[in-house]
Amino acid sequence: MTSAPGDRQIAVVAFAQTVHRRSSEELSEVEMLMPVLHEVLDRTGLKTADIDFTCSGSSDYLAGRAFSFTLALDGVGAWPPISESHVEMDGAWALYEAWTKLLTGDADTALVYSYGKSSPGSVRDVLTRQLDPYYVAPLWPDSVALAALQAQALIDAGDTDEPALAAVASRNREAASANPHTQLKGPVAQGDYLVRPLRTGDCPPIGDGAAAVILAAGDRARDLCAHPAWIRGIDHRVEAHGLGVRDLTDSPSTRLAAERAGAFERPVDTAELHAPFTAQEVVLRKALRLGDGVVVNPSGGALAANPIMAAGLIRIGEAAARIHRGESGRALAHATSGPCLQQNLVAVLEGEPR
């Protein structure tokens, strides 16, 4: 899809997120989410009853219980009953579902939220349960080990080296200093090897967090926001699951999604990339053809805060917020899921000329 069909244009009109933290054991997921829901609604003056469609993203495996999203719905206040759906994915894909719902004309406003608490368990172990359950998952290869395979492949291909990766880490965390929501900020030591060639500094912090976005169509968006961030295009693609059949130094799914979202039609000035590991930023920059003039991850990115299931939606929210504040005219937001960038989503957001 290169752009929204017909004349119906959809915009991100508000964004809110938690302060992401290593642990929030004193809070339930719902308690963590509630302030974010209130904040995003307050920004538009909307009440739950004014929202035409609600969609969320989360994962039962992080919560450690089945149907974990049902409790979050109670927090939304679904009474009188609401039109609502849920994806067992990062909230960026919940936003995609809401975007299509608004395109049909059945809704003019949508609330999108997502959340994840990694602190209750070992997230490296939990993520192994995403893998092929018969041949791979029984070996328990963890998420850092898989990312390390990807990083080593890039180094072997001559696409990067360890000092370059350290520079990626340093730049992201320096940018995060200006972002009150991030977990790791400022100078962070590269540290020891966690899994060669990745050092602790190349890896994301483990943390808990939530985010929410409000979408609106056409004039409704202009009513709710002085400077709406219009979604000019959004697309997502998945690749094969087996790492052995993929070129880990490239991300064809990101490139295709970007092409379908219209990212290459005109240059962007900002890119928010969901790259939890430093080496993945190298892969994404190449796939997205980002030049040196593009500001990458002014928020600090996933290396500064990586609440699983919300980190992708946060990239869209951060890109939109730059447009709301007049700091960007055309921004790209990216979200990823699965081992070694298996599934990728790209959205292109634009402000109106001022």
Partner 1 sequence: MSKEPVAVVGIGQTKHVAARRDVSIAGLVREAARRALDDAELTWADIDAVVIGKAPDFFEGVMMPELYLADALGAVGKPMLRVHTAGSVGGSTALVAANLVAARVHGTVLTLAFEKQSESNAMWGLSLPIPFQQPLLAGAGGFFAPHIRAYMRRSGAPETVGALVAYKDRRNALKNPYAHLHEHDITLDKVMSSPMLWDPIRYSETCPSSDGACAMILTDRAGAARAPRPPAWMLGGAMRSEPTLFAGKDFVSPQAGQDCAADVYRQAGITDPRREIDGAEIYVPFSWYEPMWLENLGFAGEGEGWKLTEAGVTELDGDLPVNMSGGVLSTNPIGASGMIRFAEAALQVRGQAGEHQVDGARRVLGHAYGGGSQFFSMWLVGAEPPDS
Which candidate, 327, 21, 339, 3, places its Cα nearest to that of 150? 339
Q: Which stretch binds partner 1 (CB under 8 A): 175-183, 220-228, 229-237, 275-283?
A: 229-237
Q: How far is the CB of 180 from partner 1 (least distance, A)?
A: 31
Contacts of 219 (CB under 8 A, 6+ apart): none
Q: With respect to partner 1, which residue has the nearer C-beta, 207 or 339?
A: 339
The verdict on 339 binding partner 1 (CB under 8 A) reads yes
Contacts of 248 (CB under 8 A, 6+ apart): 149, 150, 153, 154, 283, 340
The verdict on 253 binding partner 1 (CB under 8 A) reads yes
Q: Is cis: bond before 80, omega within 30 of 0?
A: yes
**Dist CA 54 CA 214 (whole Å):** 9
Are 304 and 315 in contact by the 8 Å Cβ rule? The answer is no
**Dist CA 331 CA 231 (whole Å):** 10
The verdict on 295 binding partner 1 (CB under 8 A) reads no
The verdict on 6 binding partner 1 (CB under 8 A) reads yes
Q: With respect to partner 1, which residue has the nearer C-beta, 44 or 344?
A: 344
Q: Which of 93, 113, 230, 277 binds partner 1 (CB under 8 A)?
A: 93
Would you state the structure tokens that stand for residue 154, as one six-digit string? 């890039």
Q: Which of 236, 285, 315, 324 binds partner 1 (CB under 8 A)?
A: 236
Q: How far is the CB of 143 from partner 1 (least distance, A)?
A: 11
Strand partners for 116: 209
The verdict on 244 binding partner 1 (CB under 8 A) reads no
Q: Which of 343, 346, 348, 350 binds partner 1 (CB under 8 A)?
A: 343
The verdict on 326 binding partner 1 (CB under 8 A) reads no
The verdict on 247 binding partner 1 (CB under 8 A) reads no
Which of positions 40-59 make contact with partner 1 (CB under 8 A)? 54, 59
Are 100 and 128 in contact by the 8 Å Cβ rule? The answer is no
Which of positions 254-293 make contact with partner 1 (CB under 8 A)? 256
C-alpha dist (Å) from residue 172 to 31, 120, 204: 29, 26, 11
Q: Tell me, by CB under 8 A, how many residues bind partner 1.
A: 65
Q: With respect to partner 1, which residue has the nearer C-beta, 139 or 226?
A: 139
Within its chain, how far is the Cα of 279 from the centroid?
17
Are 210 and 17 in contact by the 8 Å Cβ rule? The answer is yes
Q: How far is the CB of 245 from partner 1 (least distance, A)?
A: 8
Q: Which of 23, 240, 265, 266 binds partner 1 (CB under 8 A)?
A: 240
Q: With respect to partner 1, which residue has the nearer C-beta, 188 or 347?
A: 347
Q: What is the DSSP letter of 204?
A: P
Which candidate, 101, 96, 110, 111, places its Cα nearest to that of 260? 96
Q: Which residues bind partner 1 (CB under 8 A)?
A: 1, 5-8, 54, 59-61, 64-67, 69-71, 73-74, 77-89, 93, 96-97, 100-101, 103-106, 126-127, 129-134, 137, 235-242, 252-253, 256, 337-339, 342-343
